Structure 1
Amino acid sequence: MGHTFEINNNPKKRTLIQKGFKAFNNEDYKNALKFFSEAIFLDQDDLETKIGLLLSDMANDFPTEAYGFYEFYQSMLSTQPRSAREKIQKQILELIASFDTNLNKISYALKNEDSVKAESIDGILFADFKKMCDKHDFKEVFQNLMFSTKIIFTHKDDFYNFLDLLVENDFYEMSISYIENMRNMIFYDKKINEILRKAAKKQSENTKTN
């Protein structure tokens, strides 16, 4: 038992992790992988090391997306209490793991043609959804539609707008869930990061009031 404690708190491991993230921030992904690989050898269960290792590997092919994950991770750490650190790390690992998984919680189509017909893809266009929300309460409209039809997005900005509306109307967990389950992370950019930070802030505020 004592030996395990010594290994898990090995100062060399902490130094390697620090060097790894420094290299990652400097876009030196080769050395970042080297440092995190050495750290994982010292402690195979360390969640922060796993995050660094996976992000450094991802960054070789998808640097923008990898850094997006990293920024979200740091944002979550800074807005949540230290006691939530392990939970946050596990959420980030799940988010990374979902990078290549199928989208199964929202159906959307991104088309170049503005003339796409909702009936041809069995759903309601986001533009029509917005019109309904202008006349009625967002929560009422969304809750009535979410189990009966799909919302179709013809533009990337429409999807961002939808995620923003979810957060603003206290569906922040659903907004995060949609992002986590995106199959292709090409949209994981500055705007997505802003939405995730806003959702994390709402989540934190809600936790304090309960």
Structure 2
Amino acid sequence: MGQDYKEIAIKLFKQGKFDLAKISFNIAFNETPSDELLAFIELCDMAKDSPSDALTLFEIYFDPANDDSAQSINEIIDIMQSSVQQSTMEIESQNAITYADFKNLLNQNDFRTLFESILFSTRIIITHKDELFELVNFLVDHGFLDIGLKYLEGSAKMFMGDERMELMLEKIRGKDENSLK
């Protein structure tokens, strides 16, 4: 039965339905645990931020010219781990914090005060589109309309078709019009 869920997940992944693929891979893993399925689950997470990279790694694994699938899965795992390590090193080398760290600081501080204190000295690293929309929402609610709009413009290509993009733009327009009155 686990094989059926794996096959379903593979089809879903190839169709770009990464969340559904992850669920199916999880079910298959619960029935028959394996490193391969864990790697596929990680690929589903990776696909949220970098769909083309995840699909490329996925295709490498299923390349008919590839004789050793175990070696391929280990290479994929190594690539994903090095990507995480590289991201960590980039954050450390820049004056940057992750959005999760920013939110933790927010629990102890007022948004406006915290954001103004890091505005010119620290980058906020956003890893998921949910984080982007949450940050932009905070920015708009606290009067940072221009900065919120810049965040949206900078990521418009990545989130084309996401209905939250249009809703957020409408919210900014509405706030901007109210400030003119």
TM range (shorter): 0.3 to 0.5
State the TM-score, normalized to the length of structure 2: 0.48
Q: So what's the TM-score if we normalise by structure 1?
A: 0.42
